[in-house]
Structure 1
Amino acid sequence: MRLYMARHGQTDLNAQQRFQGTSDPPLNAEGIAQAEALALRLPPGLTRIVASPLRRAHQTAAIVAARHGLPVLLMEGFRERAYGVFEGLCREEIEARYPELWARRIARHWDDGPPGGETMRAAVERVRAALDALAAEHAGETVLLVAHGFVARAVHLLLRELPPEAFYDAPMIGNAEFEFFDALPPGGPPR
């Protein structure tokens, strides 16, 4: 399977630099324009479009799908990481409300996370399971996956076979940007 990994277009929470997590805002006008531009930049030959069920990813995928004449398959495993009490807040608000958690950089711990949120490990393993299923079902196809910043980093980590401590080494892809992975094996990412 050949994989294009795209991040959703911009939302108001992105523009305000707030943690979105599992909150479900729609694309804003800029995000819609970004999704339309993404649809034009992607090469022909996509055979499948898969998206997170969160509205911002699904909206972006639907705009691309309309241009490429494909349906969108939603997969729960590609939803954004849950950030619990941090969701909807910007950095300054988190520092003020949860100074001890922010000082510990709790959102970047592999086996811990903000209260009510997912650990990095749990979210990456969820993405791994979804990639396994996607690769098994769509071997030989060219797939566009539209998801989120954390998911894009997880896909990058898994498919480039990087250690967990390298999770934040690569810059996050921007809204409606994509990364390409050639020849994902039918069994999914390497273990």
Structure 2
Amino acid sequence: MTLDDARMTEPQRGSWSSARPGAATTDIVLLRHGDTRLTPERRFSGTGSGDPGLSATGGEQIRRAARGALLRSTPFAAVVSSPLRRCQETAALLAAELQLPVKVEVDLREADFGDWEGLTLAEVERAHPLDLAAWQRSADVAPTGSSETFGDVLRRVGDLADRLAVTHAGSAVLAVSHVTPIKAFVAHALGASAMALFKMELSSAALTRITCTGPDWLLRSFNDTSHLT
């Protein structure tokens, strides 16, 4: 799903932006890792859960992403990745295709889901109904056994997004990450609150693209899985 309107000219598009003319644009392409053994069952999988790697299906999803139009046509200057195994394996498959080294970026890690790791939403609802209800009502409430809230994730990812925009000004960077951080990148670009993370759906191996020109962030595309069809 692309947010650019093909009928909109560049001057029209720019007129909506507060970016200064001539400012360098940073293009950040975000790729969610492929499936793991936990993904099809929609189990919470954060910094724990045994740190699963890609399944055979997940590996094939990433190979398809590497052959897709966006990754093939973008001249990336760098690839950064979460330190978790599923992202490291995803990045390794892409790096071979893109001929670029992978830099580990710890702030791309998934959220810490505490005692909910490895459980489905229904299982969490049975085991921790009050904690789950409180978490769903407020981005300042952490999962049972965790100290990290969605608000915390948005702050660390927002700081990372701003650093990447400066470090890679005028170029494109590919970031391999997880559901929650990628949603946080989008919320940061839109100036939305952390509660917006509950309002987004992100598929395995989906591509999302944001750009930063001067102080101005734009969401260019979200949850693009066209390379998987």
State the TM-score, normalized to the length of structure 1.
0.90
Please report how far the alpha carbon of residue 108 of structure 1 lies from its aligned counterpart in structure 2 after TM superposition.
5.5
Please report how far the alpha carbon of residue 14 of structure 1 lies from its aligned counterpart in structure 2 after TM superposition.
0.7
Please report how far the alpha carbon of residue 185 of structure 1 lies from its aligned counterpart in structure 2 after TM superposition.
4.0
Report Cα offsets for 1:75-94 as digits up to 9, x if no partner: 00110011111111112221
The structure with the largest alpha-carbon Rg is 2
Residue 184 of structure 2 contacts residue 194 of structure 2 at CA under 8 Å; is this kept in 1? no
Report Cα offsets for 1:83-137 as digits up to 9, x if no partner: 11111111222122112223x1515621111133211111111111222222221
- Corresponding letter in the other structure for 1:128: G
Partner residue in 2 for 1:160? 190
Task: Give runs of aligned pairs for residues 42-81 of structure 1, distance below 5 A.
Answer: 42-44=71-73, 45-81=75-111
Report Cα offsets for 1:7-60 as digits up to 9, x if no partner: 000001112211001121100000000111111111331221111111111111
- Corresponding letter in the other structure for 2:58: G
Please report how far the alpha carbon of residue 6 of structure 1 lies from its aligned counterpart in structure 2 after TM superposition.
0.9
Q: 1:54 to 1:189 in 2, by over 3 A?
A: farther
Residue 210 of structure 2 contacts residue 217 of structure 2 at CA under 8 Å; is this kept in 1? no
Out of 2, 10, 31, the residue aligned to residue 6 of structure 1 is 31
Matched, 1:22 2:47: yes
Task: Give runs of aligned pairs for residues 127-146 of structure 1, distance below 5 A.
Answer: 127-146=157-176
Question: When you count strand as a share of all residues, which structure comes out higher?
Answer: 2
Unpaired runs of 5+ residues, structure 2, are 1-25, 219-229
Matched, 1:116 2:116: no
In structure 1, distance between residues paired with 2:87 and 2:214: 25
Matched, 1:31 2:61: no
Runs of 4+ with >3 A deviation: 185-190
Q: Secondary structure of 2:89's partner?
A: helix
Unpaired runs of 5+ residues, structure 1, are none
Q: Secondary structure of 1:10's partner?
A: coil
In structure 2, distance between residues paired with 1:13 and 1:165: 25
Please report how far the alpha carbon of residue 139 of structure 1 lies from its aligned counterpart in structure 2 after TM superposition.
1.2
When the two structures are aligned, how many residues end up with a matched partner?
A: 187
In structure 2, distance between residues paired with 1:166 and 1:91: 19
State the TM-score, normalized to the length of structure 2.
0.76
Out of 202, 206, 212, the residue aligned to residue 173 of structure 1 is 202
- Corresponding letter in the other structure for 2:64: A
Matched, 1:151 2:181: yes
